[in-house]
A and B are shown apart, each in its own frame.
Chain A
Amino acid sequence: MYLALREIRHAKLRFALVVTIMLLVSFLVLFITGLARGLAYDTTSALETMKADHFVLEKGADNRFGRSLLTGNELDAAQEVVGSDKALPLAVRMSTVSIEGAAVKKDVTLFTVDADSWLLPDVMEGSTITSTSEGHVLADKKLKSAGAEVGTVLKDPASGMSWTISGFVDQSAYSHTPVVFLNQKDGAKLRAAFRSQASTQTDSYNVIAVQATKEQVHELAQRLPETDIIPRQDAIDAIPGYSEEQGSFTLMIAFLYVIAAFVLAVFFYVITLQKLSQFGILKAIGARTGTLAAGLIVQVLLLSVGSAGISLLLVRFMMQALPDTMPFRLGTATMLLTAGAFVLVAVLGSLLSIGKVARTDALEAIGGTAG
């Protein structure tokens, strides 16, 4: 400790440069982690906040909602197993709507749900829709940034239908698009508009959202052999683009950790090599290897904790400054975990130098002119 602090005091510039590099790396780790989380949430929040724990999909749909098509027969069977209020149909359709008065088009995902059920999220602004209302929808608040307000009319040119926004909901995004919730009545009209070119079934939908126990899931699988019953996380992983995005980010973050470890390992290794004769002298005088190694660890901890701390502050500031349209999510727990992992990786990187210190022989002090 005594030596560690005084060495940093004496070689301020050298240590400041390393702190700067570490700071940049740890900032990048935090930033990319936040971006990855933000993008993930921007893709999955509609399913994350949905109160279903399993989904029933057509076999061969590859866990993708859009590729699955089910009929009333499956729904009846599922409701017999888990109860009619715990198995609900969900129709999903990607579309592009124009926002009245804003002269822009927005990609949205249309969710047709039973408006009186738990599939419809709580309204944060405006009023909710019921299963008897007509031409009214709930929209994710992301649409507000495109100019939509309560009462704004959304036009779907593909089906020729238009709906009035009755209220906004929070955290309902699917595959980077805001979700628009329709009740069954409007959903049926929407299907009718596409009937000639799509399914001939009148009451078709994509998936069944269920709340089921383990045993019920097992029973469902037996009753519905032509379907896949998947947990919610599998459905999230299969959202178009989600796994690919997260895979790239995970790779980047992993590399940043490796880089951080190497930067510190190399820095301390070179410094340690320079000081080997000095360590020999200190050992000859009577310093123990443990004392010298502890000093090294203290330095690594100071540098990594210091730089991680500063970058946490920077990220905090940046979160205030980022525009709402930029998906960025970084909870306190994630921040601390990331910073902790960073410090751990830095300490691991210094083990190389500690080995070198341990192997230095006190004998080098005698008869030598070095240092």
Chain B
Amino acid sequence: MKPKLSLHQITHSYEDGSGRVSILRELSLDVQPGEFIAVMGPSGSGKSTFLSIAAALLTPTSGEVRVDGRSLADKSSKELADLRLRQFGFIFQSAHLVPYLKVEEQLLYVGKLAGMRRSEASARAKLLLGQLGLAERRLAYPEKLSGGEKQRAAIARAFMNKPDVLFADEPTASLDAARGQEVVQLIADQVKREGSSAIMVTHDERVLHHCDRVLELENGKLRVS
């Protein structure tokens, strides 16, 4: 099967006061459609850098990122923003909802940015909020939501534009164990339902059984753990 997202020989380094520091060394990864991958690693191992490069937020020092077989190397920042908008979904450490938008509007706004028709957008928002158990809370502001509800709203927002690849940056970091399980379960369910691929960076070992593949980031390379 053709990989949805592929990272080929990625090296990333930066100048430090004492010399060049390499965070990623010739890292390669193929993500198949519908695959849910977890990336583990201690802090400072480069998980955030890895995710930023995979999600087209950061350009690697060398190597190539391909989405659907097309290289991102020569795309402008506007094209990359459009790519992130239409083909990627993001779930962050804390939910990062826009504080002055009601839950439903968080989703509608993302749909609007992508140029989705209003009727289509509200139908999609309604569907997602129903699937994630937020139908009752759709008119609440983020400040009125619990931590779990916020993260569920963020998941719904990430799926709004039917992303090909979902990126999750430590989605359980600000939740207790039970809420963490629930949230990762929801992400896994949603990935299966939508047929998206997903990469989750985490150091929470209790949620790994939801994932298809678990990789460890060590010395700038990924290995099967």
Q: A residues near B, CB below 8 A?
A: 2-3, 6-7, 9-11, 277-278, 281-288, 291, 362-363, 365-371
Contacts and interface: CB of A to CB of B under 8 A. Distances in A.
B100 A7 contact: yes
Contacts of B85: 285-287
A9 B57 CA distance: 32
B105 interface: yes
A278 B94 CA distance: 12
A366 to B, nearest CB: 5
A365 B92 contact: yes
A363 B113 contact: no
B81 interface: yes
A363 B58 contact: yes
List 8 tightest A-B contacts by C-beta distance, closest first.
A286-B85, A10-B100, A367-B48, A286-B84, A281-B96, A7-B100, A366-B52, A286-B81
Interface residues of B, number: 35
Given A284-B90, A285-B84, A286-B114, A278 B169 contact: no
A3 to B, nearest CB: 7
B86 interface: yes
Contacts, number: 82
B37 to A, nearest CB: 17
Contacts of B78: 288
A3 B57 contact: no
A9 B105 CA distance: 13
Contacts of B51: 366-367
A6 B100 contact: yes
B36 interface: no
B105 A6 contact: yes
Contacts of B101: 3, 6
Given A283-B81, A365-B96, A368-B93, 18 more contacts: A2-B105, A2-B109, A2-B112, A6-B100, A9-B100, A278-B96, A278-B98, A281-B96, A282-B98, A286-B83, A287-B81, A362-B81, A365-B57, A365-B90, A366-B169, A367-B51, A369-B94, A370-B94
B93 A367 contact: yes
15 contacts: A3-B101, A11-B100, A281-B92, A281-B96, A284-B55, A284-B90, A286-B84, A287-B85, A291-B113, A363-B58, A365-B92, A367-B47, A367-B169, A369-B174, A371-B96
Contacts of B173: 369
Interface in B117-167: 141, 157
A181 B190 CA distance: 92
